[in-house]
Amino acid sequence: MEYSINTFYKNHSHIYKILLFIATTFLIVFMFPKSGRFKYNFEKGKPWQTENLYAPFDFAIQKKPTDLAKEKELLKQQSSAYFNRDKTVKDDVIKNFNTVFDKTFNDTLQFKTELKNQALSIISKFYEHGIINENLKFSDNKKIVILEDNQEVEATEFKNLYNQTEVKSTIENTLTNVFSNSSKNALIAVFFNVIKPNLTYDKTLTENVLNESLQTVSINRGVVEKETLIISKGEIVNDSKFQILNSLSKEYESKDWTKSNYYWIVFAYTLLVALALLMLLLFIRKYRLDVYNNNTKVTFIFFNVLVVVLLTTLIINYKSEYVYIVPIAILPLVLKAFFDARLGLFTHVITVLLLGSIVPNSYEYMFLQIIAGIVTILTVSELYKRANLFISVGQITLIYIIAYFAFFVIHEASIENIHKQTFVLFILCGLATLFVQPLIYIYEKLFGLVSDVSLLELSDTNSRLLKELSNKAPGTFHHSLNVANLAEASANEINANAMLVRVGALYHDIGKMKNPTFFTENQSSGINSHDELSPKESAQIIINHVINGIEIAKKNNLPDRVIDFIRTHHGTSQVYYFYMKEKANNDDINIEDFTYPGPKPFSKETAILMMCDSVEAASKSLKEPTSSKIDNFVENIINKQKDEGQFLNADITFKEIEAIKKVLKRKLANIYHLRIEYPE
């Protein structure tokens, strides 16, 4: 029992990764559509590359979306508008007209009978089809159906109906010129008093009839019977063949599969997803072992892959045309901010390969997204600089647009029907990519990671902890600034993380705040606190500044990546001065009492700090420095560290160490303002 528990604790990290791998695989498969998928890729205008294709079953040829849209639009134009007519209105209008007319015009008026007859003929003309009281945007030839008591009584065109606003102009144009203006105006006033609309537009009935008609429109234009030759090998996929192949592909996706087929599809998707995620995990294990050994970081990577897949599947399920609005370029941006470009690009490619199984036009989609990922990795540097992010997002958007334009021209051989709305989607995708800045901040808080943006904040010498260091141990603070400058220059020389090593240098000696006067750089009074202590006690105080620094760093919530510099900047070296002092008085000496606990530097950045710290601290002892003295001094210190094996765990090469030596020699020469010696 005890053995099994111990085994579990020893392997809990591997067990966690296995569970994470299985959980991520099944979550992704759960999000994927469980339909069949056409196994062939085809493009319009390109030759059919595989064997002759015969229809595996009977299926309908679907109409092109543009043709279907035109057919529906034509149906809308040819459809009828329905109006309800009140048949009592005309009789009421004539009755009211006779009454008002007789009151308005007396019997002595000449042409009274003729005027009345013309007026009645105008009324008959108005109500031959009817009068409406609202402005409707129908064409003149729009078919109109007039209903009385829910029964169709007449069919006409919209131009034959009168609008109540047209009454005045119609009367003026109809009345003959034999009548005086006063008679005309009086008659028009009579009309305005009695004319009423008798037609009411039945919008609900019109739309219902139209919808019923639209539902009768067939989305198919024919049927392909089983075993019919669809396309031969080498034959060009023209417009007609493309539509047939596209219909067959959609038939595969919408086909009702049996339970057995469904399980096979799920099993196949599980294999593909598991294989892709396994490649990602193996890559991390082989090339990023420090990331692989950190379960939080592995979880973070898998979580981001899962989020991108989730967003894409949601968009595809809603409307597949919007698939390019998902800002997938955020994935390599985030991973580059926390890890490195190579891991970011590899993860991006794996994610795009996963999505290629479910997106429409998979080849086009994968090409665009992989190119965009490469551009993201190549263009984005120093993400903490806002201008760099805006420039990079602009370049990514431009690449999307150019690549999409090229694919469209290849498919259509023209640009007449190019989908301009897709360009808008790319622009929106670019704007969404800018969300990476707040997203990085959120991830830092959720996963306890540190990015270059946080490092920039930590490098501020006005921060509370560095201000405390400058007040309690001003000499150490000045030493840290000098080391930071040397380390940053060295990191830039060998393409290491300059921002990280600078921050590490600023905080590497914060443990000296606990006993500042025991370190020579802080002894301004000329009194050495070590004079009253034994060499062993003095060595222990010096060594403890590493332990104290780690405690202070954790208390102030410094990231682990920064604490690593505090732990490793002395490696497993000895406090040599007090060791030799003790050895002079005592032959029976334990070297462990004078040795730093380590660990040794395990990255380029921590190795750089060890070199720069030792060189800067020891350079204070140089008297009358010359170029040759500085060169020998730097060589001796770094070669001694190399001979002690301090850099064995760091991925730094001899060539890079030599480059760092040159930088340190040049910088120290500048610090001491060395000039050539002029002859006397």
The answer to whether residues 433 and 458 belong to one domain is no
For the cut 80, the answer to whether the pLDDT of residue 38 exceeds it is no
> For residue 266, what pLDDT is reported?
83
Q: Examine the pLDDT at 678 and tell me if it is beyond 50.
A: no
- Lowest mean pLDDT: which of 253-262, 364-373, 627-636, 650-659? 253-262
Q: For residue range 378-392, what is the model confidence (pLDDT) as tens digits?
A: 886 666 666 777 888
Tell me the C-alpha distance between 381 and 105, whole Å: 92
Residue 382 falls within a domain, yes or no?
yes
At residue 676, the pLDDT reads 47
What is the CATH number for 492? 1.10.3210
Asked if 549 and 566 count as a contact pair (C-beta separation under 8 A), the reply is: yes
- State how far the Cα of 221 lies from the Cα of 70, in Å rounded to an integer: 14
Domain check: are 179 and 265 in the same one? no
HEC per residue, 408-442: HHHHHCCCCCCCHHHHHHHHHHHHHHCCHHHHHHH
For residue 303, what pLDDT band results from cuts at 50, 70 and 90? Answer: very high
Residue 285 included in any domain: yes
pLDDT digits (tens, 9 = 90+) for 491-543: 999 988 888 999 999 999 999 999 888 888 887 766 777 777 888 888 888 89
80-85 and 143-148 strand pairing: parallel
3-class DSSP assignment, residue 674: coil
Residue 293 reports pLDDT greater than 90: no
- Is the domain of 81 the same as that of 166? yes
Average pLDDT, the chain: 84
282 and 198 within one domain: no
β partners of residue 2 = none
- Residue 649 and residue 600: Cα distance in Å, rounded? 7
Query: How much of the chain, in percent, has pLDDT values that exceed 90?
Result: 28
Residue 650 lies in a domain: yes
- Same domain? 429 vs 462: no
423 shares a domain with 542: no
DSSP strand pairing (53-54 vs 199-201): unpaired
Confidence of residue 9 (pLDDT cuts 50, 70, 90): very low
pLDDT digits (tens, 9 = 90+) for 541-576: 889 999 999 999 999 988 888 999 999 999 998 887
- Residue 680 inside a domain? The answer is no
**pLDDT over 50 at 108, yes or no:** yes
Does residue 8 register a pLDDT over 50? Answer: no
464 & 591 share domain = yes
425 and 473 share a domain? no
In a domain, 104, yes or no: yes
**Bigger pLDDT: 65 or 468?**
468
Residues 116 and 184 occupy one common structural domain: yes
Beta bridge partners of 155: 145
Q: How far is CA 547 from CA 129, 514, 569, in A?
A: 100, 11, 12
Distance between CA 465 and CA 562 in Å, rounded?
13
Side-chain half-sphere of 351: how many Cα atoms within 13 Å? Answer: 30
Q: Which parts of 319-340 fold into alpha helices (H)?
A: 330-338
Q: What is the pLDDT of residue 176?
A: 60
Other CB atoms within a 10 A radius of the CB of residue 309 amount to 22
Distance CA 162, CA 83 (A): 13
| Torsion of the alpha carbons at 172, 175, 180 and 185, rounded to the nearest 10 | -40
Average pLDDT score over residue span 247-264: 69
Residue 542 is assigned to a structural domain of this protein? yes
| Residues paired with residue 224 on neighbouring β-strands, in sequence order | 59
Task: Report how many domains make up the chain.
Answer: 3
Distance CA 126, CA 473 (A): 102
243 within domain boundaries = no
H helical segments located in 149-258: 167-174, 181-194, 203-215, 239-254
Do 348 and 463 sit in the same domain of this protein?
no
Q: 325, 366, 372, 367: which is closest to 345 by C-alpha? A: 372
Task: Specify the range with the lowest mean pLDDT, choosing from 160-164, 550-554, 576-580.
Answer: 576-580
pLDDT in tens, 450-468: 887 788 888 888 889 999 9
Tokens representing 313? 């599947």
Is a pLDDT exceeding 60 seen at residue 256?
A: no
Amino acid at 99: T
Q: Can you tell me whether residue 157 is helix, strand or coil?
A: strand
Together in a domain, 531 and 414:
no
Q: Average pLDDT, stretch 118-144?
A: 85
Q: Using an 8 Å Cβ cutoff, are 493 and 611 in contact? A: no
Rounded Cα–Cα distance for residues 325 and 323 (Å): 5
Among residues 447, 465, 481, which one ends one of the domains? 447
User: What does the block give as tokens for 458?
Assistant: 């930590």
* Domain assignment present for 354: yes
pLDDT greater than 90 at residue 271: yes
SS3 of 591, please? helix
- DSSP annotation of 537 reads H
Domain end, chosen from 413, 447, 481, is at 447
pLDDT at residue number 612: 94
Task: Indicate whether 468 and 327 sit together in one domain.
Answer: no
Domain enclosing residue 664, as ranges: 452-671
- Is the pLDDT at 2 greater than 60, yes or no? no
pLDDT surpassing 80 at residue 3: no
As a whole number of angstroms, the distance between CA 408 and CA 178 comes to: 70
Q: Which of residues 421, 447, 473 is at a domain's end? A: 447
Q: Is the pLDDT of residue 107 over 70?
A: no
